[in-house]
Amino acid sequence: MSETIFTRGVIGGLSLKNRLIRAGCFEGMCQEGQVTSALIGHHRRVARGGVAMTTIAYCSVSHDGRAFEHELWMRDEISADLKAMTDAIHAEGAAASIQLGHSGFFTSRSVIGKQPLGASPKWCVFTMSHCREMTITDIEEKTRDFVNAAVLSKNAGFDAIEIHSGHGYLLSQFLSPWTNKRKDEFGGSLENRMRFPVKIIEAVRQAVGQDYPVLVKMNQTDGMPDGISLEDAVLVAKAFEKAGASALIPSAGFTSKVPFLMLRGNLPVREMSNNRKKLMNRVGLKLFGRFMVPEHQYEPMFLFEGAKKIREAVDIPVIYIGGVESKADMTRALDAGFEFVQVGRATIQDPDFAKKIESGEITRTECDHCNRCVAAMDAGGVYCVSNEIGFLRKG
């Protein structure tokens, strides 16, 4: 199947020109929650570089789900700007997806102006805040917010949406026993913990229609002893398929506990601390960053074996993500039955990564996994710090 990379593939009712999708990589380009020219330029350049679809990352479904001031949140007022972005992406020959989520207990109180929501009461050391347990009324409200965000996205010209149910975001917090200590029908057994994300997928599917692509990012493991396991994830994947997901993206990690499990490689503590606005946060991260944020060794295709278990459990497309750095890696994933692959840092290091792979100019990325691009997200916008031919801060 080595020739499959640059042939068409299908997710739901969407036909894509090849099997490469730009993963949702938080851009840090949505100052005051707005669609900026930098964000549009960023994704226009990705689209021009040859991927089949690019994913706008971390759009909160409501204002109270934001962890950063430079994080997008969905509402009617930005619809025209979103349409301008999808038009720009389409003009470059790619499809557009948007990642919809809610930060839950690691929402920043200083950003949203009130106490964060969560599956259960929980203290977050990164935002220095304590969330309250969501009521049934809150659950119904957030379900409506996800539906509203999905409908607005579709109307703004997005070809697909990606519901974020991994990485320790709100839906992942309901799934994980580390954050879900509830005693009602949304807590306890895995079946109960799945109830809220399943409810959202079902409601979104009903709102957007049967053919519209609804991708779901999920964890194959939380990455800690008291989180969900791969065995749990297989059952979650089956439930998400039944609820109406068009495709699954099995990742790993928990943003507020093991955030670099999903990336691996170098931990840029100095750069991350320098980019914090508050003195206390800068000093704290510099002194204790390596204790607070575990470092994980990088290796190509680091999520492959777990993702295969999920691929074998469902009939819908499963999109491979995690350490794809070469044509050989893409071929390995497609040969194993994954119908698409998502790439992130490779397209930040070189926005023409896909075109160059297709033409044979290169066979692998030059990204060295220094992860300084992650720190750059908090300093005006993501770009390749090691290689200035990557994205510039102003798009």
pLDDT of 288-339, one tens digit each?
445 456 777 889 999 999 999 999 999 999 999 999 999 999 999 999 999 9
Dihedral sign, Cα of residue 361, residue 350, residue 81, residue 170: positive
Rounded Cα distance, 368 and 298, in Å: 10
Indicate whether this model's pTM tops 0.85.
yes
Q: Is the pLDDT assigned to residue 1 strictly greater than 70?
A: no
272: in domain = yes
* Average pLDDT of span 209-237: 97
Q: Which residues pair with 134 in a beta bridge?
A: none
Phi and psi torsions of 381, nearest 5° = 140, 150
Task: Give the span between the Cα atoms of 195 and 26, in whole angstroms.
Answer: 27
For residues 248 and 237, the answer to whether their CB atoms sit within 8 Å is yes
pLDDT at residue 285 tops 90:
no
**Does any domain span residue 341?**
yes
Assess if residue 389 is contained within a domain.
no
Indicate which CATH number applies to the domain containing 88: 3.20.20.70
Asked if residue 388 is part of any domain, the answer here is no
Query: Cβ distance 58 to 71 under 8 Å?
Result: yes
**DSSP of 319-381:** EE-S---BHHHHHHHHHTT-SEEEE-HHHHH-TTHHHHHHHTS-SB-------HHHHHTTTTS
Structural domain contains residue 391? no
The SS3 call for residue 282 is helix
Q: Which residues contact 359 (CB under 8 A, 6 or more apart)?
A: none
Region 177-205: mean pLDDT is 98
Helices (H), 156-224: 170-175, 190-193, 195-208
Q: Strands 9-11 and 14-16, how do they pair?
A: antiparallel
Residue 387 forms part of a structural domain: no
Task: Give residue 325's domain range.
Answer: 2-376
**Average pLDDT over every residue of 33-42:** 96
Spatial CA neighbour of 100 closest among 145, 45, 37, 52: 145
pLDDT for res 252: 96
Dump pLDDT digits (tens) for 256-284: 888 878 888 877 656 555 555 554 454 44
Classify residue 381: in a domain, yes or no. Answer: no
Q: Which residues contact 347 (CB under 8 A, 6 or more apart)?
A: 22, 46, 49, 51, 353, 354
Given pLDDT bands bounded at 50, 70 and 90, which one contains residue 392? very low
Tell me if 382 is assigned to some domain.
Answer: no
pLDDT one-digit tens code per residue, 202-214: 999 999 999 999 9
Burial class (CB in 10 A: 0-12, 13-18, 19+), 89: buried
Q: Which two tokens stand for residue 353?
A: 């990564």
Q: Are 179 and 111 in contact (CB under 8 A)?
A: no
Give the chain's domain count. Answer: 1
Question: Which residues are identified as catalytic?
Answer: 169
| First-to-last C-alpha distance (Å) of the chain | 35
CA atoms in the 13 A half-sphere facing the CB of 244: 21
pLDDT-wise least confident of 44-48, 117-121, 167-171, 294-298: 294-298
Encoded tokens for 70: 């430079």
